[in-house]
């Protein structure tokens, strides 16, 4: 940042300061020429000696200097006046050119432009009247999040150190205007300028490609805006501890996230579908259950990505082989093959022909494409995962014979959007991960039956006197309100208004899929999923004046015996 806090940031002062000399020259030239015209003798039409007054002199010099030239006023000039006019023309025109040249010079000055840019963004941020997210880093992850959030109508502010990337904010047709600041996000001043301490700042997303910078952002946000949630992307595990100490919650590691999702798809494929349905925009419960193979996985490339993947696969007792030129210390001849993974001969040696999955996970896109092509030639049936590092290569990767393309920016983006959109889902998903496939398949079946092919929405209801007056009045009248009654009443409101209760939180305890005869108590939090319409029915129901009695008593009896 150019300016320090507490000082005026007005570009106009810098402009004026730089223009001191040209302005002084202009004033002096005008002063001398105007004075001259009042002193140089002239002749009026009657032949009497005549001198110009200050008003006429100033008027004449004004149009002379700007080269408008309205002629000799009020009377034709004497020779002496013409001589002075000639001198005045050159003096004023030159001083104007000098002043205007200096003005443009200052306008083009990088420092001035920088200040003007910062002021422009700071003003735009100050004018925000809705909660906004502060996105630091506008590459793959940042731009994708910006696009999706702006589609939701959520306000964002972008910081990026690269002017090129920050400029693309204007080019991409985001549906709302997004202030984009060019600046170093590891500089606290930049964050403050972009609205870190703005009362409406909803979260800080540290998504620069550099773990160190992300740590600094998290730390700055923790100190300067302690209540603000910070979501940070980190690649290296060593950075995790530092980020956690800085108070960055939650941390998003693209490699770990991807590996965990692969493991989830292997262990409980139905849960993967539920996960997608609940967390993606316009997600439905009808997605295909993934069928990932459990045979040998060949991982090409040594690095954080393959290490995270191997860690997860080993826990599932899946055999893995790592192939690379230089192998890590933890390798032995059983689980590693040394050699260039783009070489088909090396791949064959690693057992690709009999492998059930191949992961092209080197950090170089072109190598990963080569591995994908080579592996496909060697093994027609293998499941191939290609890691993509640069977004611009997306077209090539789409054409490549890979079953799954992993772009770390998109993995981060998807995870960030999940946390932002449905924070209450996080604890459900964390608990559900410990369940087995039978449980997950049953839940998926139930969601499909109740929600069908419609978009799955999730919502939570907190039972309190303010939020749910209807339920509260029922309690006051001594009634028992069960979850089943709530669901039945919701269902009575309209066609197919089925809600699926996902999680009950009562004080510190959490129950997955609470049963229908659970008696609701004051202070309970319930998480549901269902259609958007069901959500509005239920919200309307609990917020209304009284909780209606069930029309058909046998329905409630049937539910209670359920």
Partner 1 sequence: MSSERVLFAFVIVLALTLNVGFVAGDIADVSHHNVYELYAAMVVSLIATIMKFGDRSALGSTMLATSLVADLQLIAAAAAWGLYSQASGEALNAHQSATVISLAIGALVANVVSVVLLIIEMANLRR
Residue from 35, 519, 557, 558 in contact with partner 1 (CB under 8 A)? 35
Residue from 2, 5, 11, 23 in contact with partner 1 (CB under 8 A)? 23
The answer to whether 27 contacts partner 1 (rule: CB under 8 A) is yes
CB of 98 to partner 1, least distance (A): 14
CB of 54 to partner 1, least distance (A): 6
Residue 78 has φ and ψ, to the nearest 5°, of -80, 170
- Report the site for partner 1 in 268-287 (rule: CB under 8 A): none
Q: Select from 19-27, 133-141, 276-284, 427-435 the region that touches partner 1 (CB under 8 A).
A: 19-27
As to burial, measured by CB atoms within 10 angstroms (0-12 exposed, 13-18 middle, 19+ buried), residue 533 is: middle
33 versus 482: smaller Cβ distance to partner 1: 33
113 versus 377: smaller Cβ distance to partner 1: 113
CB of 361 to partner 1, least distance (A): 55
- At how many degrees (to 10) do helices 11-18 and 79-108 cross? 130
- Report the site for partner 1 in 451-480 (rule: CB under 8 A): none
Q: Select from 16-24, 67-75, 107-115, 213-221 the region that touches partner 1 (CB under 8 A).
A: 16-24
CB of 63 to partner 1, least distance (A): 17
Q: Select from 27-35, 43-51, 138-146, 200-208 the region that touches partner 1 (CB under 8 A).
A: 27-35
How far apart are alpha carbons 213 and 226 in whole angstroms? 18
The answer to whether 100 contacts partner 1 (rule: CB under 8 A) is no
Long-range CB pairs of 49-53, under 8 A, 24+ apart, other chains included:
50/75, 52/81
Partner residues linked to 512 by β-bridges = 503
The answer to whether 13 contacts partner 1 (rule: CB under 8 A) is yes
CB of 99 to partner 1, least distance (A): 11
Q: Select from 33-41, 67-75, 328-336, 377-385 the region that touches partner 1 (CB under 8 A).
A: 33-41
Q: Select from 18-26, 75-83, 105-113, 376-384 the region that touches partner 1 (CB under 8 A).
A: 18-26
Site size toward partner 1, by CB under 8 A: 20
Residue from 46, 48, 55, 71 in contact with partner 1 (CB under 8 A)? 55
How far apart are alpha carbons 342 and 351 in whole angstroms? 14
Residue from 24, 316, 438, 552 in contact with partner 1 (CB under 8 A)? 24
The answer to whether 53 contacts partner 1 (rule: CB under 8 A) is yes
CB of 224 to partner 1, least distance (A): 25
The 3-state DSSP class for residue 363 equals: coil
CB of 31 to partner 1, least distance (A): 4
Q: Select from 52-60, 219-227, 292-300, 445-453 the region that touches partner 1 (CB under 8 A).
A: 52-60
Q: Select from 14-22, 136-144, 182-190, 475-483 the region that touches partner 1 (CB under 8 A).
A: 14-22
CB of 53 to partner 1, least distance (A): 7
How far apart are alpha carbons 203 and 231 in whole angstroms? 8
Residue from 8, 332, 509, 561 in contact with partner 1 (CB under 8 A)? 8
- At how many degrees (to 10) do helices 437-451 and 269-279 cross? 40
The answer to whether 61 contacts partner 1 (rule: CB under 8 A) is no
The answer to whether 88 contacts partner 1 (rule: CB under 8 A) is no
Question: Residue 246: CB partners within 8 Å, gap ≥ 6?
Answer: 215, 218, 219, 222
The answer to whether 20 contacts partner 1 (rule: CB under 8 A) is yes
Q: Write out 172-229 in H/E/C secondary structure.
A: CCCCCCCCEEECCCCCHHHHHHCCCCCCCEEEEEECCCCHHHHHHHHHHHHHHCCCCC
The answer to whether 18 contacts partner 1 (rule: CB under 8 A) is yes
As to burial, measured by CB atoms within 10 angstroms (0-12 exposed, 13-18 middle, 19+ buried), residue 502 is: buried
Structure tokens at 163: 């002017």
The answer to whether 41 contacts partner 1 (rule: CB under 8 A) is no
Question: Residue 413: CB partners within 8 Å, gap ≥ 6?
Answer: 140, 141, 142, 144, 145, 148
The answer to whether 52 contacts partner 1 (rule: CB under 8 A) is no
What is the chain's alpha carbon radius of gyration, rounded to the nearest angstrom?
Answer: 35
Q: Select from 24-32, 160-168, 260-268, 479-487 the region that touches partner 1 (CB under 8 A).
A: 24-32
Q: Are strands 357-360 and 499-506 parallel, antiparallel or unpaired?
A: unpaired
Per this entry, what is the length of the chain?
Answer: 562
37 versus 528: smaller Cβ distance to partner 1: 37
The answer to whether 107 contacts partner 1 (rule: CB under 8 A) is no
The answer to whether 14 contacts partner 1 (rule: CB under 8 A) is yes
Q: What is the DSSP string of 285-354?
A: TTPPPP----S-EEEES-SHHHHHHHHHHHHTT--EEEEESS--TT--TTTEEES-TTSHHHHHHHTGGG
How far apart are alpha carbons 41 and 22 in whole angstroms? 30
Tell me the CB-side half-sphere exposure of residue 485, using CA atoms within 13 A.
18
Which residues would be at the binding site for partner 1 (CB under 8 A)? 7-8, 13-14, 16-20, 23-24, 27-28, 31, 34-35, 38, 53-55
């Amino acid at each position: 940042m150019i300016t320090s806090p507490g000082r005026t940031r007005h570009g106009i002062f810098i402009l004026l300061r730089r223009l001191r000399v040209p302005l002084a020259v202009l004033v002096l030239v005008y002063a001398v020429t105007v004075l001259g015209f009042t002193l140089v003798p002239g002749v009026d039409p009657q032949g009497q000696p005549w001198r110009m007054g200050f008003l006429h002199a100033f008027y004449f010099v004004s149009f002379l200097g700007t080269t408008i030239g309205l002629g000799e006023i009020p009377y034709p000039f004497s020779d002496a006046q013409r001589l002075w006019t000639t001198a005045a023309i050159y003096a004023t025109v030159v001083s104007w050119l000098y002043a205007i040249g200096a003005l443009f010079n200052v306008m083009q000055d990088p420092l001035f432009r920088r200040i003007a840019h910062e002021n422009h963004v700071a003003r735009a941020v100050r004018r925000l009247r809705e909660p906004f997210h502060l996105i630091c880093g506008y590459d793959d992850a940042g731009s994708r999040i910006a696009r999706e959030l702006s589609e939701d109508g959520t306000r964002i502010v972008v910081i990026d150190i690269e002017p090129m990337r920050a400029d693309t904010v204007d080019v991409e047709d985001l549906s709302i205007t997004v202030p984009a600041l060019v600046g170093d996000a590891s500089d606290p001043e930049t964050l403050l300028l972009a609205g870190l301490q703005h009362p409406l700042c909803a979260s800080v997303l540290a998504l620069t490609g550099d773990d160190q910078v992300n740590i600094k952002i998290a730390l700055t946000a923790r100190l300067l805006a302690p209540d603000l949630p910070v979501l940070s992307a980190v690649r290296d595990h060593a950075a995790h501890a530092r980020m956690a100490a800085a108070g960055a919650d939650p941390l998003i590691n693209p490699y770990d996230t991807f590996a965990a999702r692969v493991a989830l798809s292997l262990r409980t494929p139905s849960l993967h579908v539920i996960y997608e349905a609940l967390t993606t925009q316009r997600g439905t419960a009808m997605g295909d259950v993934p069928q990932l193979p459990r045979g040998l996985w060949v991982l090409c490339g040594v690095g954080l990505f393959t290490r995270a993947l191997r860690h997860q696969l080993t826990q599932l007792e899946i055999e893995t082989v790592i192939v690379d030129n230089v192998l890590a210390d933890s390798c032995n001849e059983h689980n590693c093959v040394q050699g260039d993974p783009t070489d088909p001969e090396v791949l064959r040696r690693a057992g690709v022909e009999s492998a059930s999955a191949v992961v092209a996970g080197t950090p170089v896109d072109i190598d990963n494409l080569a591995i994908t092509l080579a592996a496909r030639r060697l093994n027609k049936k293998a499941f191939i995962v290609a890691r993509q590092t640069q977004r611009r290569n997306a077209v090539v990767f789409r054409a490549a014979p890979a079953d799954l393309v992993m772009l770390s920016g998109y993995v981060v983006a998807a995870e960030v959007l999940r946390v932002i959109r449905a924070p209450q889902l996080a604890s459900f998903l964390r608990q559900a991960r410990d369940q087995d496939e039978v449980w997950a398949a049953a839940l998926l079946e139930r969601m499909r039956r109740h929600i069908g092919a419609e978009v799955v929405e999730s919502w939570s209801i907190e039972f309190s006197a303010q939020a749910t007056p209807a339920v509260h009045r029922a309690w006051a009248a001594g009634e028992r309100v069960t979850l089943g009654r709530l669901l039945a009443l919701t269902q009575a409101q309209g066609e197919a208004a089925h809600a699926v209760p996902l999680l009950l939180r009562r004080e510190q305890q959490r129950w997955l899929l609470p049963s229908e005869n659970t008696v609701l108590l004051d202070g309970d939090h319930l998480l549901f999923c269902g259609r958007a319409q069901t959500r509005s029915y239920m919200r309307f129901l609990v917020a209304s004046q009284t909780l209606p009695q069930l029309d058909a008593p046998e329905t409630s009896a049937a539910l209670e015996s359920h």
